Chains A and B, each alone.
Chain A
Amino acid sequence: MSVSRFLLCLSLLAPGSGFAQGFAGLGTEADGFAIPKPSYRLQFPADHGAHPDFRIEWWYLTANLEDENGESYGIQWTLFRSALAPGEAEGWQSPQIWMGHAGLTSPTEHFSAERLARGGIGQAGVTLGPFAAWIDDWQMTGAEDLSRLDLSASGDVFSYALKAQAESPLILQGDHGYSVKSPEGQASYYYSQPNYRMEGTLTLPSGPVTVHGNGWLDREWSSQPLSENQSGWDWFSLRFDSGDKLMGFVLRGANGADDFRSGTWISATGEVTPLAPGAFQATPLGQAEVAGRTVPVRWKVQLPEREVSVIVESLNPQSWMDVAFAYWEGPVTVSGSHRGTGYLEMTGYE
């Protein structure tokens, strides 16, 4: 099934596919979907669950891992929800569509897999008490407050099973979890757990590997995440050896519009500071040919107010998620004023 065009239409994908806004009658208007409000205060554990009245939502976990020999790996476990119409209905009549993406990256290899399912029949979903997010046989289960997670996923030639233990509280992105995504005011609800200690097993074609490392969970939901004048997105989650963390994104302007840049500084002690619009800077330094397109896989990232000036380089430039709606997502290494690791996601490179 060629779902790609359909997904394009739904404009559901990763934080940043602004392409299809207004396409297929879906419109940039919310079409009866709920819209994020600045005044809303997130409530847990309820907000760990699904929000079927919003058009799109995701549970997005990435991790930088290392085996006993010091070899680096990265994994991605993502569950997307996209609604054809607001609300939920029983059985096949459910308008909720779920999509799972799993990625596994080593310096020389990258694997990706994808699952699709409909809500309403139990094939995919998110429940609370205890927390469980699943699609087919992939799952992310654990404590209701997300402090502890077990996750697993598999593709044709790879699989992984990992445990995650949170080492600090959740942090709210933007203004108490209300994250603005464009000058016109498009926004989403957005919170993260940037500090998971990870351990478990990766199964590669060459055999199983025991790994440990650090994970980062993003939770986000919205109904109209991007403006019409945005063509794609470069998203960085960087974990410095100092213990500080930086989440920053560039929503690339299209049709002559300016880029929209924003982010959050998370100090080693857990203090969260939203960055002023434009404070976060990311400049491509080197490109790679990936799946027939040119994608920037080497970046200069600067945050002058924190004296950050680093080179962000992909572990494997070919970290292409070859799924219905393809994008680049993979682990990165950080060098320069700060050293560390992180994850980079880039969408909208045609």
Chain B
Amino acid sequence: MTSVALLALLSHWRQHRFQLGALIVGLALATALWMAVQAINAEAKASYAKAEGFVQQLDQQNLVSANNTLTVADYVALKRSGWPLSPVLEGRLKVGGQWVDLIGLDLLTSPQIPAMSAPGAQAAEGELLISLLRPPGGLIMHPQTAAELSVSELGLTIHLSDTVPPGSGIGDISVVSRLLAKPDSLSRLIYLAQDPPDRNALEQLPNYIRFTSAQNAAIEPSALTESFHLNLTAFGFLSFVVGLFIVQGTIGLAMEQRRGLFRTLRCLGLPFRHLVVALVIEIAIIALVSGLIGLIIGYFLAVSLLPGVAATLSGLYGAEIENTLSLRPQWVVSGLAMTLLGAAIASSYGFFSLWHLPILQAPSTQARGQQVLRNFNGWALLGAGLLALGGLSLIFLGGLSGGFVFLGCIMLGSALLLPFCLWHILRAGQRLTRHPLGHWLWADARAQLPGLSLALMALMLALATNIGVGTMVSSFRLTFTGWLDQRLASELYVTARDDSQGAALEHWLEEKGLRVLPIRSQVLQQPMGQITIYGVRDDPTYRNNWPMLEVLPDAWDLLAKGKGILISEQLARRRNINLGETLPLPQGWPNTVLGIYSDYGNPHGQAIVSMPQLLRNAPEAENQRFGLRLDPDDIPTLIKEMREEFDLDRESVTDQDKIKEASKQIFDQTFRVTDSLKLLTLGVASFAMFTSLATLWSQRLPQLGPVWAIGVSRQTLAQFDILRSLVMAGLTALLALPLGLVLSWALLVVINTEAFGWRLPIHLFPLDWLWLIGLSLLAALLAAALPAWRLFRLHPSTLLKVFSSER
């Protein structure tokens, strides 16, 4: 019985293929975006977990030197007094123009690393170890890293393992110390025992060596990137909701159209329960098929978005993720579950009305208006409540989570308020119109509002997201570009091979009468994360150009006298330090904060002291990089001379423009993924509008019939339809604008500050808004075109039937 009923139900789709298509596309799109985001998140998180797992094994507990001056002699002395330690030497090496992070371990004493336990043969493990230890030695790298680097330059055996984080190479400390030319220094000492050292042991440590455990280690990648993934998830969820709007409309239509069928089946004796079972099976089949299609689309979407995400993460947070996507069961299952759940939610209203369906009575559409208004009032009330809640969360919850709750509440609340606002605008329009046809037009628009409201809500959310994210990215870009101009004030940047060449180069350049600005720094490991301290010469270049956010009046003079320090915005925010306060640093460093400057795109803390102060505290700071001030016209000559004199390769000398260009490219690459997501959500919203209008089309015939009968041509009716659709979309876009601005404010001022540690000024881009409004009008036009065309071509008999047929 149920199967016969199911077949009868399914026959509907044979007659309404377009409807079926819309349903499947809607569900598939919703699922695809959701899945793509899930896939990307899962991939990135797996990468972090791997990286953190790797780091954790080597990073649980360490001895570090407060000023990064750990030596091999320190290590040996500690070992000989019984400390269970294993040394680590880390550093960056430029290989064929690309940087790679090297991690050198003493493979004789280091904890087991996953890359070393070759699966299967133990002999292979032994052979690997021998090959890493025996001169010339080897490195283990992620296949991706090995493929990107010109590893042959190293003259080492390269072993591949995907357990090694991308962008790094692991090897024995003998190999790494040779590559980095650091025979005597160490980065840290892994503490190997389970129990932390006792007080006695700690007291015997030299005063510059500290014990740190994982609990107070620097911020981990996952903590930093959490917000980014929350962002992505929000995008995915938004698209999913928008997709559901499509589905809801389509399923509603299918229910509506099959009322006659339902009645017939019930009259034939099909129990209500069986009808419901048949409908559930039907929807489940459709949902599964759509889910699988969505899965495939989602996979390819994720594959195409992943490089952008990888670039974003590495650009903003310095977190490296793998560039390849693997099919992970968790997002496949979660995606399919979401499709089923979504279909269930979307069809719930259909079932609800089915339940209320009197077997023999035809539905009435006349009294809908009153009912709908009550609904809208309820929604608006809920929406207002959400807006209030959002405001409260910002005040009381605060932080990143407060920011996201605020965003969610504002978005959802505004969406819920939309139909109410539109309803009142349309009614106001109706009151202002005297012409009867105009009057009808407004009233008809209001009558359409219930069917269109979900699609319009989707459109508003998509538009607001576009405006919000667009404003954020554009503001960021504008600020970033300005900041680059300030920050890269030197005309030319030179990198020497080593310190002695650096010294020679500096001398040579100064003899030529050039202003040389050495770029020297020292990394300090601090309990709250690392700080890179730069030393600067007292030069107008810095005084005039450095991008200060807050500064004491005589900051540069005090800095030059060694009486203070300038710190980056991130550092100031992370440590909650204001001007004039002190930054906790090891003894000897100047620590009064004289100024705070912007340092976009740097996940770590940074600070500036005078050059003499840097050299006093860190005499061994590398002296290899220089900024040069000179007449831009002299650049080509100087580059030529320098290359001849010092045999510098092409990459060692870079002019300002090239660095700026590269930085901007990185920036644009970073936000490419947001661009894609913006367009995708807008596309899905447009499609939602289209299906809603297509759905309304058949429902509206009873209302159009009488108007046609009193003499309004089909052509005029069709034009009205398009006009109405444009008005609705236009109104929605206008209402989306303030929401978008609030969104961008929240992103720039709340989320950014919390997630990245920098606050950005808001710049407005009205032209972008115009473009977006135009785009939504175009979407409305396209969405209305087909129904209007069908109306225009409608046979008069169909309209006449309105009067005879009893639906």
Contacts and interface: CB of A to CB of B under 8 A. Distances in A.
Interface of A: 1-3, 5-6, 8-10, 23-25, 84-85, 90-95, 97, 116-118, 121-123, 134, 136-137, 154
Given A1-B109, A93-B178, A121 B72 contact: yes
6 contacts: A84-B133, A92-B174, A95-B134, A123-B75, A123-B76, A123-B80
B81 interface: yes
Interface in B127-177: 127, 129-130, 133-135, 172-174, 177
Given A5-B123, A24-B126, 12 more contacts: A2-B117, A6-B126, A9-B127, A23-B123, A91-B177, A92-B177, A92-B178, A93-B183, A118-B106, A118-B174, A121-B76, A123-B76
A141 B135 CA distance: 32
B194 to A, nearest CB: 10
Contacts, number: 89
Contacts of B135: 84-85, 93, 95
Contacts of B661: none
B72 to A, nearest CB: 5
Contact of A5 (B109, B122, B177): B122
A3 B132 CA distance: 13
Contact of A123 (B79, B116, B133): B79
Contact of B79 (A85, A92, A117): A117
B107 interface: yes
Nearest to B129: A6
Interface in B81-140: 81-82, 106-112, 116-117, 122-123, 125-127, 129-130, 133-135
A65 B253 CA distance: 95
Interface residues of B, number: 34
A95 to B, nearest CB: 7
Question: What DSSP secondary structure best describes chain B's contact surface?
Answer: helix
A91 B134 contact: no
Contacts of B122: 5
B108 A2 contact: no
B184 interface: yes
A136 B80 contact: yes
B185 to A, nearest CB: 11
Q: Is the interface of A mostly helix, strand, loop or mixed?
A: mixed
A1 B190 CA distance: 13
Contact of B134 (A84, A92, A94, A118): A84
B126 A1 contact: no
B88 to A, nearest CB: 12
B76 A122 contact: yes
Contacts of B75: 121, 123
Contact of A24 (B107, B109, B130): B130
B183 A91 contact: yes
B126 A9 contact: yes
A93 B135 CA distance: 8
A79 B232 CA distance: 58
B183 A1 contact: no
A193 B75 CA distance: 34
Nearest to A98: B108
A9 B123 CA distance: 8
Contacts of B177: 91-92
A8 B126 contact: yes
B81 A5 contact: no
Interface string B268-285: 000000000000000000
Nearest to B107: A1
Contacts of B184: 91
B173 A92 contact: yes
A121 B117 CA distance: 27
Contact of A137 (B82, B106, B108): B82
Contacts of B116: 1-2
A141 to B, nearest CB: 12
